[in-house]
Amino acid sequence: MVRKIISHRPVTYAEALEILRGRLKDEGTDIQYATLSYLERFIKCDKELASKTYRKLKEELKLSDEICIMLINILPQTPEEVRTVLASENITLTSDEINKILDILSECIKSLEKE
């Protein structure tokens, strides 16, 4: 069966997990189940928290959708890790802006520590 791409946009692991679970209610392919397993193991925060974090990053730092999603999926914990993510799009921010990113991401990190 040929599938057609209806839309394309970056999503957090949490959102991808929800989408995939919805589609696998009936049956799926091996690659879909492998992806589901990967997402369940590496998800960093739930969908609501990821969405809230995404909005904060967009509003306060005016970062691209792709960078916001990467930051949420990876959850860097040091300025160097943030710079590595930003380097993928040739973005340079001040130390204050990087610390602001870390502050925003800290909510997701705290939710991981509670688990």
Q: Which of 115, 112, 92, 108 is nearest to 48 (CA)?
A: 108
Q: pLDDT: is 38 or 23 the higher one?
A: 38
Percent of the chain with pLDDT over 70: 96
| pTM: predicted TM-score of the whole model, two decimal places | 0.85
Residue with tokens 């925003």: 104
- Burial (Cβ within 10 Å: 0-12, 13-18, ≥19) of residue 114: exposed
For the chain, what are the domain ranges?
A: 13-42, 47-114
Tens of pLDDT along 41-96? 988 888 999 999 999 999 999 999 999 999 999 999 999 999 999 998 899 999 99
